């Protein structure tokens, strides 16, 4: 079913009874869909823009959006059945997303953004009316597809912001209870961000053929769920003209471009939260020491709706310190002597809407820097380029304000808790986050103390710290709470830096196609570095690995769909990469891009382990019923309505700059795709300053199997193609698949 065609029919029918005087309508907007289902939303005011944005969102993503709304509202138990997971999520969202907190966030929203949000609510609800009983099969007729209410967008935004901080502790927060009332202990499952990452390259005028800026944006986000991207273009003539990607369960563009600038994000290494060890009052476990006084642990009881009409709400108490919620887990239980709390850098950061509202109309990377200095970019680096020829890198994300001395003197260790967790002494006020003048968000590092740089050369980031964003000009001297310096970089980071250096060797000037090729060559950097050494072991007597050696010797060392041997190396390197003493040359801070290097094959233990890993890889593949010389696109694929679409790319920590993570399935291979290359944009300007914008959404615009845009871009991505984005009015109106819908209310 073509849902947009239905929408057009409904809109035309309604318009027949409406006046032609646009000024009498509260909302009036045109949505123009071009090829591959890309909506271009054109309006004369912010409210109408939000109205059309929401409608275009719902056409492709109503089911995902509606479920994320239920998550943020804490109704998963009622809507999707009682389970420990759903209950913990409901408790978490109902206790953290309080009316007071949401009011604080709303207080910072510009008036135009408030108009936009009201329009978004109206446009979303208009879609529900137009499509009642006619939605995608995955949610059609479901009670959990509800209208948006005032405040829901604020709730969803805060919920997203804390997803990788406080949101990691849903189970642990729900499990907290005073001694003697302890609930069943849960495992300490919180950890560093998983399932998201990114590559980014910004190039300045001294290295581009046009003398303008050039940007590759390549976020690695989930292929399923609310963190999927969706391409959209928004225009209010003379006010804003912006295209890019937004999360399908979000309401603003997070990565994109206009006529003057382009920006992207990569997940930052900076901390988003810290834990605090609370010293409890020996006479009262509901109090904790803070300096010379005892503070109360406060109780907050929430009501979680149950499933079914006759199911009564279930009450649950959450416990709060002035740092944030108390949590409990194995090894970090609430005892008579101590408890643990978490403080999040984003939950009370209300700068997000002002930050992205400013980014929409930026005209230079200086404007980008000014916008993100409001510190509303949550957990990401920002990499940008502009029409004037500037490249920019900055990590100005929401980060606890802790210096080196505090991290040394205040940090506590807890047996069994992983070292990445920053646990601070909660009894000493000097160990709480510093309040520094100049920070827009109290307790966050002020922007002037965070890494950033502008250049006519280049910057890259592939989820390592800021340190080697350009190896010729390392950024140094910042708080380790942001990231490390002088340490080994990941193979993916080293690959990106190497590929850029190769592209600009001998004075070459970069074109957009060069950045596209860096990604779409799908080179496997670990194989380029180490495969020859492994093949020398194949010359030894024995035929147990001969078949794998034969395939690897012919392998082109890429993860393109036509490559043969990628799966052998994938399984082999997964075992080898963590071997002790693996490298012949260890990391050298003076040669950070080229070390560590070589395999220690003179070491008998390493040599034997490498041979064993290759034999194990061969066995896993053959036992799964997969040929050793299988084509990569036949064993790594996305299934779309019975069609198998080969997906290029491979695991990033194996050295693939083109990043794809999958689930291994016996008898099939590497499917389904979990996360990796998602929204890809290559943005530049020609010598005259005209925009050159191309890109793709690897998994296509809609997650719904009954959508016409469920697989079309995925096929393009499989073939290594990008879309030339229609941006100007002439390009949009000339698109051969143009469909136009006018909405008025």
Average pLDDT, the chain: 94
Question: Which sequence spans correspond to the domains of the chain?
Answer: 3-146, 525-657
d(CA 354, CA 131): 33
- Can you tell me the mean pLDDT for 538-547? 80
Whose CA is closest to 564, among 634, 477, 459? 634
Give the global pTM.
0.96
Identify the residue with better confidence: 531 or 180: 531
The H-assigned helical ranges of 564-693 are: 566-576, 604-623, 632-635
User: Cα–Cα distance between 105 and 283 in angstroms, integer?
Assistant: 38
Summarised one tens digit per residue, pLDDT across range 689-730 is 999 999 999 999 999 999 999 999 999 999 999 999 999 999
- Catalytic residue chosen out of the listed positions 48, 89, 198, 358: 198
> CA–CA separation, 524 vs 502, rounded Å?
15
Q: What average pLDDT score do residues 478-491 get?
A: 97
pLDDT digits (tens, 9 = 90+) for 46-80: 999 999 999 999 999 999 999 999 999 999 999 99
Q: How many helices and strands, by DSSP H and E, does the chain display?
A: 20, 31
The predicted-structure confidence for 609-651, as pLDDT tens digits, reads as follows 999 999 999 999 999 999 999 999 999 999 999 999 999 999 9
DSSP 659: B
Query: Which of 540, 212, 218 minimizes the C-alpha distance to 387?
Result: 212
Tell me, which fold does domain 525-657 have in CATH? Answer: 1.10.1400
Residue 198 bears catalytic tag: yes
Sort strands 380-386 and 391-394 into parallel, antiparallel or unpaired: antiparallel
Which class in CATH covers the domain with range 3-146? mainly alpha
**DSSP one-letter code for 153:** H
Q: What is the mean pLDDT of residues 303-319?
A: 89
Q: DSSP 3-state assignment of 258?
A: coil
The answer, yes or no, to whether residue 426 has pLDDT greater than 90, is yes
Render 172-237 in DSSP notation, one character per residue: HHHT---TTS----------S--S-EEEEEEE-GGGBSSSS-EEEEEEEEESSSTT-EEEEEEEET
Report yes or no: 287 and 296 within 8 Å, Cβ to Cβ: yes
Q: pLDDT at residue 14 above 80?
A: no
pLDDT in tens, 266-295: 999 999 999 999 999 999 999 999 999 999
In which band, very low, low, confident or very high, does the pLDDT at 182 lie, cut at 50, 70 and 90? Answer: low
Which residues have CB under 8 Å from 67's CB, separation 6+? 80, 139, 144, 226
- 334/262 Cα distance (integer angstroms): 48
């Amino acid at each position: 079913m073509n849902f947009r065609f239905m929408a057009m029919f409904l809109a035309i029918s309604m318009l027949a009874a409406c006046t032609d005087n646009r000024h009498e309508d509260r909302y009036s907007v045109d949505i123009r869909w071009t090829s591959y289902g890309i909506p271009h939303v054109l309006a004369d005011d912010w409210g109408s823009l939000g109205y059309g944005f929401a409608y275009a969102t719902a056409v492709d993503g109503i089911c995902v959006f509606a479920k994320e709304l239920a998550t943020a509202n804490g109704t998963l138990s009622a809507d999707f059945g009682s389970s420990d997971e759903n209950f913990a999520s409901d408790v978490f969202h109902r206790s953290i997303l309080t009316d007071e907190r949401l009011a604080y966030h709303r207080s910072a929203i510009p008036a135009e953004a408030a108009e936009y949000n009201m329009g978004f609510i109206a446009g979303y609800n208009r879609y529900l009316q137009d499509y009642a009983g006619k939605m995608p099969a995955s949610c059609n007729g479901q009670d959990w597809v509800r209208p948006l209410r005032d405040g829901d967008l604020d709730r969803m935004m805060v919920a997203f912001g804390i997803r990788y901080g406080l949101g990691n502790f849903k189970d642990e927060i729900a499990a907290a209870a005073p001694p003697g009332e302890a609930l069943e202990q849960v495992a300490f499952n919180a950890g560093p961000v998983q399932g998201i990452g990114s590559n980014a390259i910004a190039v300045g005028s001294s290295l581009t053929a046009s003398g303008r800026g050039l940007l590759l944006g390549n976020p690695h986000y989930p292929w399923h769920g609310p963190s999927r991207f969706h391409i959209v273009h928004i225009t209010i003539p003379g006010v804003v003209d912006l295209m890019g990607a937004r999360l399908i369960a979000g309401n603003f563009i997070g990565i994109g471009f206009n006529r003057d600038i382009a920006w992207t994000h990569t997940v930052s290494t900076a901390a988003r939260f810290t834990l605090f060890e609370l010293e409890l009052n020996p006479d009262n476990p509901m109090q904790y020491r803070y300096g010379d006084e005892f503070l109360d642990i406060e109780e907050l009881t929430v009501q979680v709706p149950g499933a079914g009409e006759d199911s009564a709400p279930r009450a649950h108490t959450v416990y709060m310190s002035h740092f944030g919620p108390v949590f409990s887990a194995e090894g970090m239980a609430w005892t008579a002597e101590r408890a643990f709390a978490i403080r999040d850098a984003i939950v009370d950061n209300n700068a997000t809407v002002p930050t992205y509202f400013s980014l929409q109309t930026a005209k230079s990377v200086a404007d980008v820097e000014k916008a993100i200095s409001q510190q509303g970019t949550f957990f990401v680096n920002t990499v940008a380029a502009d029409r004037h020829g500037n490249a920019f890198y900055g990590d100005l994300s929401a980060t606890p304000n802790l210096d080196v001395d505090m991290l040394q003197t205040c940090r506590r260790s807890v047996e069994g808790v992983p070292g990445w967790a920053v646990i601070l002494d909660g009894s000493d006020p000097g160990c709480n986050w510093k309040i520094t003048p100049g920070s827009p968000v109290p307790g966050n590092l002020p922007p002037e103390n965070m890494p950033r740089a502008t250049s006519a050369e280049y910057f890259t980031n592939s989820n390592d710290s800021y340190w080697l964003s350009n190896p010729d000009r390392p950024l140094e001297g910042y708080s380790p709470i942001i990231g490390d310096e002088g340490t080994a970089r990941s193979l993916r980071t080293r690959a990106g830096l190497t590929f850029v250096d190769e592209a600009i060797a001998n004075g070459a000037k970069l074109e957009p196609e060069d950045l596209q090729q860096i990604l779409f060559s799908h080179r496997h950097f670990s194989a380029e570095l180490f495969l020859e050494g492994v093949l020398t072991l194949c010359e030894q007597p024995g035929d147990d690995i001969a078949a794998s050696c034969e395939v690897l010797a012919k392998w082109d060392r890429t993860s393109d769909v036509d490559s043969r041997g990628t799966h052998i190396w994938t399984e082999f390197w997964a075992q080898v990469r963590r071997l002790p003493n693996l490298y012949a040359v260890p990391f050298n801070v003076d040669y950070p891009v080229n070390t560590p290097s070589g395999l220690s094959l003179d070491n008998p233990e390493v040599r034997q382990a490498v041979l064993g890993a290759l034999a194990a890889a061969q066995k896993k593949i053959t036992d799964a019923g997969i040929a050793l010389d299988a084509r990569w696109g036949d064993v790594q694929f996305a299934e779309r309505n019975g069609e198998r679409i080969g997906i290029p790319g491979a695991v990033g920590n194996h050295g693939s700059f083109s990043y794809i993570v999958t689930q291994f399935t016996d008898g099939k291979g590497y499917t389904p795709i979990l996360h990796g290359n998602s929204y890809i944009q290559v943005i530049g300007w020609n010598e005259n300053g005209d925009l050159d914008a191309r890109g793709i959404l690897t998994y296509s615009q809609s997650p719904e199997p009954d959508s016409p845009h469920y697989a079309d871009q995925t096929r393009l991505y499989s073939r290594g193609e990008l879309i030339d984005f229609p941006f100007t009015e002439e390009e949009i109106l000339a698109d051969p698949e143009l469909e136009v819908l006018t909405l008025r209310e």
